Amino acid sequence: MSTKFTQIGGSKRSLHVQVACEMARSIILGELPEGEIIPGEMDLCTQFGVSRTALREAIKLLTSKGLLESKPKVGTRVRPQQYWNYLDSQLLDWLIDMEKTAYLYEEFLALRKAIEPEACASAARFASVEQRMQLSELFQKMDSIAKGFDQDVWVDVDLEFHRLIFISTGNSFFLPFANVLSTMFKSYFHHASKRGTTCIEEHRAIYEAIMAGNSEKARQASQALLTASDHELEAIK
Amino acid sequence: MSTKFTQIGGSKRSLHVQVACEMARSIILGELPEGEIIPGEMDLCTQFGVSRTALREAIKLLTSKGLLESKPKVGTRVRPQQYWNYLDSQLLDWLIDMEKTAYLYEEFLALRKAIEPEACASAARFASVEQRMQLSELFQKMDSIAKGFDQDVWVDVDLEFHRLIFISTGNSFFLPFANVLSTMFKSYFHHASKRGTTCIEEHRAIYEAIMAGNSEKARQASQALLTASDHELEAIK
DNA sequence: GTTATGATATAAATCATACAAATTATATCG
DNA sequence: CGATATAATTTGTATGATTTATATCATAAC
């Protein structure tokens, strides 16, 4: 286990987050296998070159995300992968910066196909008056941007559109998806840089269905958009 | 802000988790409104009667779940609700122990309706040979338990059945649902104590469809089960 | 008057150290 | 040989000192 980790320092993020990120990396890459007891706190402190306070806060962070589990005397062990909370935006942020994680985009699209049509249907039924106003405002912005296409601006507005839909469901459990979606989008457009389709007509269909309170139509429109996204993903591979 | 929190101590769980739980409670109940700066570390230490170490680890826990956010000089503030990670089993565990959270069961059922049919469909396509064997074993157990019905045993096996389906999708993003489902199930059967329906035939339909690799049938069977669950929930209200 | 620039106060961040508690392993005694 | 006590190890908790980041305000430049 000697000198597995490199010294930390220099970056802008807080120390314990950097340490947590490094450890998460090791765990995800399988350098620290599931069930394995990781080195003791003191060992890790010297390896990372940080104090025990910082290290422990890093461990608490990873414990909260389901990656670690520690007991007095026995040590801190890596929990089985099935307990990792992939729907945590911070964890996801660390994941997608790694190699061989392209498959995550496909898996995420599969999740979206399950969840977003239902979210759109719910939004059509439960969105408040205020939320419908916000959605209307947002879509008008999208519509105008779609013509003179500017990718950076588009991503932000597109994201806000989908986020607002999740919020408008009024279902607490749909909220985390908005955040995860945000993380995935940003990373996706960052890596697969130049791409140009806005699918504005598909978005319009969703928008109009939600405004009309037609949940069945909203569901179908969302499915249509995601099928289009599917073709995009194929084109890139 | 004086004496908002009571002294901590006595329970079996680690200190920082108890503190985190108490703080989460206050936040969720709105005693600490969104955007509000919570008292400084020293204040909270004296209020809870714990050291700064314990308090800070508690804050890190809540930060990881999206409830808090802290910056030097400015303090630690409560993040807007839309960033809270409701799909974190620990957070959920704290939530459902509180009053006026019955609505969570309904919201969760709505989420299940979106996600589980797709999960079953995926499992039918992607489950490995080993996973199919495990599922077979599990269902036989369910079938035998369903006759001489013992609630405690049933819940465990039922849970394992659904968990295995999520795992069998091979999609990382479906894994967290298994854990959340587990938390919700346990709480549900704990509160609404005596109830007896196993829906064994609905489960059988799912099981057989997955084993047969018939994803469309698996999807429909799952929908049928969830509709039955819907009626159960109605009966309790 | 408006906009940069820099000092300062403050709260969190980090460090270092000490002690407590829990659990495993070992050794001792009946 | 078995049960119980003891010791050793690892995480858990506590505390004080020190460092770093940033909002605020004062000052200087434009």
B95 and B199: one domain?
A: yes
Interface size, chain A vs chain B, as Cβ–Cβ contacts under 8 Å: 112
Instruction: Specify which residue's alpha carbon is closest to the C1' of nucleotide C9.
Output: B73
Long-range residue pairs from A207-212, CB within 8 A, at least 24 positions apart, any chain: A207/A135, A207/A136, A207/A139, A207/A161, A209/A120, A209/A124, A210/A120, A210/A123, A210/A124, A210/A127, A210/A132, A210/A135, A210/A165, A210/A168, A211/A132, A211/A135, A211/A136, A212/A124
B139 and B229: one domain?
A: yes
Fill in the amino acid letter for B114: A
In a domain, A3, yes or no: no
Segment B85-93 mean pLDDT: 95
In a domain, A5, yes or no: no
Is the Cβ–Cβ distance between A88 and B88 less than 8 Å? Answer: yes
Where a domain ends, among A83, A114, A135? Answer: A83
In a domain, B5, yes or no: no
- How many beta carbons lie within 10 A of that of residue B9, not counting itself? 10
A151 and A222: one domain?
A: yes
Q: How many domains does chain B have?
A: 2
Give me the pLDDT at residue A3, please.
36
Give me the pLDDT at residue B237, please.
53
Q: Which of residues 86-145 of B touch strand D (CB under 7 A)?
A: none
A34 and A62: one domain?
A: yes
A51 and A98: one domain?
A: no
Give me the pLDDT at residue A34, please.
93
CA distances from B231 to A152, B58, B228 (A): 47, 40, 5
CA distance A42 to A49: 10
Where a domain ends, among B83, B109, B141? Answer: B83
Does this model's pTM top 0.85? My answer is yes
Tens-place pLDDT, residues A199-209: 899 999 999 99
B106 and B174: one domain?
A: yes
A185 and A127: one domain?
A: yes
A210 and A102: one domain?
A: yes
Give me the pLDDT at residue B130, please.
97
Is the Cβ–Cβ distance between B162 and B154 less than 8 Å? Answer: no
What is the span of the domain harbouring residue A60? 12-83
Question: What region does A217 belong to: left with phi over 0, alpha with psi -120 to 50, or beta?
Answer: alpha
Give me the pLDDT at residue A196, please.
62
Chain B CB contacts of A86 below 8 Å: 172-173, 175-176
In a domain, B217, yes or no: yes
The separation between CA A149 and the C-alpha centre of its own chain, rounded to angstroms, equals 25
CATH code for position B190: 1.20.120.530
Give me the pLDDT at residue B99, please.
74
Give me the pLDDT at residue B126, please.
97
In a domain, A2, yes or no: no
How, if at all, do strands A75-78 and A68-71 pair? Answer: antiparallel
In a domain, A179, yes or no: yes
Chain B CB contacts of A118 below 8 Å: 110, 113-114
A32 and A49: one domain?
A: yes
Confidence of residue B4 (pLDDT cuts 50, 70, 90): low
* A199 to chain B, closest Cα gap in Å: 24
A165 and A206: one domain?
A: yes
B71 and B185: one domain?
A: no
Tens-place pLDDT, residues B90-134: 999 998 888 778 889 999 999 999 999 999 999 999 999 999 999
Does the pLDDT at position A4 exceed 60?
A: no
